Amino acid sequence: MSVDVRLELKNKKRIVVKIGSSSLTHSQTGELNLLKIEKLVRILCDLKGEGRDVILVSSGAIAAGRQAIGGQKPTRISEKQAYAAVGQARLMMVYQKLFSEYNHVAAQVLLTKDTMTSENSRYNAQNTFDELMNLGAVPIVNENDTVSTHEIQFGDNDRLSAIVAALVGADLLILLSDIDGLYSDDPRRNPQAEFISQVKEITPQLMEMGKGTAGSDVGTGGMAAKLAAARIATDSGSDMIIANGGNVEVIHEIMQGMPRGTLFMAHENLDFDLMDYINYQY
């Protein structure tokens, strides 16, 4: 792998960071890990301080609602919607407080699939993102789980983050998960699985590798959802990295050109149509 490819990440100006529920919560209890969230916010503010645009796609609303209400991981759609209604407000309260401590403004953007499939709504969402970044705010994106149904099972915000990256013309999408990156097989089941540091092309064979993997008890997204996100991001002209969110300092390391996670190389598709990717079932 060429070191220069990683070093070029230093020059990325518009960054979308997606963090999953399992990376935002304590593994023992499922409750929000406030120390990690504070560190994440500090790192994102530092990226802002370097003159970059930053968008955070954050899971965790259902987990935060679960923390407030108590109980096991919800299984029924109505349960998830109710947990999200409580948890989204709690999660944004945490983000607003922490970003303000570093003199930055966080803005909530809730999206559904209907927002993206409607040309007019998609155009309005794009304008909102552009204006928020012009104002220096940090958009914090989540699916509107309180009114959506299919979207709650959409891949733990992986595909949503890629769609957002394509919508705003991001240079780089960083997916933080509970795995180091892409392997030749599920490393939790096969200790002989080989780590893949760089992917230049997302082939049908590669997509097949992601099937059958599942997320954690807190999150929902497996590797298939992340590979679907990689296809959207790279076809739209954005590099993408899957990295382990166990230590959010990995964001800083990635931006310094260190070999962290799996790097999917952008290969802009001149025939790219975001609608095709929104509706496509992987």
CA–CA distance, 89 with 208 (Å, rounded to integer): 37
Calpha distance 63→233 (Å, rounded): 27
Q: Kindly report, residue by residue over 158-179, the tens digit of the pLDDT.
A: 989 999 999 999 999 999 988 8
Residue among 188, 204, 183 nearest 262 (CA) = 183
Domain extents for the chain?
3-279
The mean pLDDT value for 239-257 works out to 95
**Average pLDDT of the segment spanning 137-155:** 70
Q: Please tell me the distance from the alpha carbon of residue 30 to that of residue 32, in angstroms, as a whole number.
A: 7
The encoded tokens of residue 279 equal: 């509706």
Q: For 113-130, how does the pLDDT look when each residue is reduced to its tens digit (9 = 90+)?
A: 777 778 888 899 999 999
The fold adopted by the segment(s) 3-279 is: Carbamate kinase (3.40.1160)
pLDDT of residue 223: 83
Which position has the higher pLDDT, 98 or 84? 98
What local confidence, expressed as pLDDT, does residue 152 receive? 42
Three-state DSSP at 33 gives coil
Q: In the beta sheet, which residues pair with residue 176? A: 19, 243
E strand or H helix that includes residue 115: helix 113-117
> 0.75 cut: is pTM over it?
yes
List the structure tokens of 158: 């992986």
Q: Across 94-238, where does the E strand assignment appear?
A: 106-111, 138-143, 172-177, 182-183, 195-196, 198-199
Per the model's pLDDT, the better-predicted residue between 228 and 216 turns out to be 228
Backbone CA torsion sign across 45, 180, 276, 279: negative
